[in-house]
């Protein structure tokens, strides 16, 4: 029998219990949409590395600037500081990349185009550049373009909500909240301003299309940002949902115990034995 609540005192600044549930919903939705069931395409890799990450960096520039939101190149009309929600194919690659935080941060820091403009002093009008980790805000969010001629896809993605008509289809957004919907629109507006000739959504037929799926040697080399095997990560992570599909992962007490064990695991990692050998956490952790 499920308990309504599971009281626990968390040593963490973030509320990890609802985030763990959001993580599962994110993976379940990607699976239902078929995103995790095939090798990411060369188009998705390019969209993630060459388009999405620079877009997030540009958004961070706007957030960190104390000046008015005015940009001579792409303008600021319609772009708000409410977060960004990536398209589903990009969301999956971004998620897999950030699961290796050290490699992800190293890659971001080594890309001048991803540097964030920062006002060093409020009293001096001096602007310097620094590199800021590009994080997902809101976390575990995605948006997916659903064509009307594929009802099965919509049925599979039950955790999303249709929020907007778009052409001959509809846009599905996760999580289905007003704030996420605003962030989803925000991402599309900024994308259109920065990349007017690029489609925000990956518009490929639902059936396998070689132009969307096949990878050349050059594509595979590009899919190794900073030496990190992005496609290999996606291949490994696609089965993680199966590992956390047990009903226990819906139980508040089980999740609360996992939070407690996670804290103990982190403490263990700081001990000499924990630092000198590889220790693998359980799926609960």
- pLDDT tens digit sequence for 34-55: 999 988 999 999 999 999 999 9
Residue 25: CB atoms within 10 A of its CB come to 16
pLDDT at 181: 93
Q: What angle do CA 98, 24, 139 make, to 5 degrees?
A: 45
Write out pLDDT tens, residues 96-120: 999 999 999 999 999 988 877 654 4
pLDDT at res. 220: 63
Q: How far apart are the C-alpha atoms of 50 and 87, rounded to whole Å? A: 14
Asked if 191 and 182 count as a contact pair (C-beta separation under 8 A), the reply is no
Distance between CA atoms of residues 95 and 59, nearest Å: 18
Beta bridge pairs of residue 247: none
Which of 18, 96, 22, 11 lies closest to 266 in space, CA to CA? 11
CA atoms of 29 and 240, how far apart (whole Å) = 13
pTM across the whole model: 0.81
Distances (CA, A) of 104 to 56, 152, 226: 14, 35, 8
Q: Which residues pair with 142 in a beta bridge?
A: 174
The radius of gyration computed from the CA coordinates of the chain, to the nearest angstrom, equals 20
pLDDT-based confidence at residue 275 (cuts at 50, 70, 90): confident
Query: Cβ distance 258 to 251 under 8 Å?
Result: no
List, for residues 134-165, the tens digit of each pLDDT value: 888 899 999 999 876 554 444 444 444 545 55
Could you give the C-alpha distances from 204 to 19, 207, 209, 213, 231, in angstroms and in order?
A: 31, 8, 7, 10, 19
Strand partners, 119: 127
Q: What percent of the chain has pLDDT over 70?
A: 71
Q: What does the pLDDT read at residue 118?
A: 54
Mean pLDDT across the chain: 79
Separation between Cα atoms, residue 92 and residue 31, nearest integer Å: 10
CB 87 within 8 A of CB 41: no
Cα–Cα dist 251/278, whole Å: 29
Under the banding of pLDDT at 50, 70 and 90, the label for residue 212 is: low
Single out the residue of 115, 82, 94, 80 nearest to residue 44, CA to CA: 94
Average pLDDT value for residue range 121-141 = 62
């Amino acid at each position: 029998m499920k308990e309504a609540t599971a009281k626990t005192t968390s040593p963490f600044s973030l509320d990890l219990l609802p985030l763990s549930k959001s993580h599962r919903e994110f993976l379940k939705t990607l699976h239902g949409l078929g995103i995790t069931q095939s090798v990411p395409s060369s188009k998705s890799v390019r969209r993630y590395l060459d388009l999405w990450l620079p877009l997030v960096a540009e958004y961070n520039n706007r957030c960190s600037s104390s000046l008015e939101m005015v940009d001579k190149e792409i303008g600021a009309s319609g772009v708000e500081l409410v977060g960004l929600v990536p398209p589903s194919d990009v969301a999956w690659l971004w998620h897999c990349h950030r699961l290796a935080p050290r490699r992800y941060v190293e890659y971001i820091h080594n890309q001048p185009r991803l540097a964030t403009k920062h006002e060093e002093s409020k009293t001096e009008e001096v602007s310097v550049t620094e590199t800021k980790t590009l994080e997902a805000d809101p976390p575990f969010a995605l948006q997916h373009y659903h064509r009307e001629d594929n009802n099965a896809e919509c049925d599979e993605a039950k955790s999303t909500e249709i929020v907007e008509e778009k052409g001959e289809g509809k846009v599905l957004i996760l999580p289905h909240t007003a704030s996420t919907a605003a962030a989803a629109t925000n991402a599309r507006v900024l994308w259109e301003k920065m990349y007017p000739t690029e489609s925000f959504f990956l518009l490929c037929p639902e059936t396998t299309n070689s132009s969307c799926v096949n990878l050349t040697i050059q594509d595979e080399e590009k899919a190794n940002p900073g030496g990190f095997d992005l496609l290999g990560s996606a291949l490994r992570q696609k089965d993680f949902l199966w590992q956390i599909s047990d009903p226990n992962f819906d139980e508040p007490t089980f999740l609360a115990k996992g939070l407690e064990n996670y804290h103990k695991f982190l403490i263990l990692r700081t001990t000499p034995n924990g630092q000198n050998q590889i220790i693998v956490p359980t799926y609960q952790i």
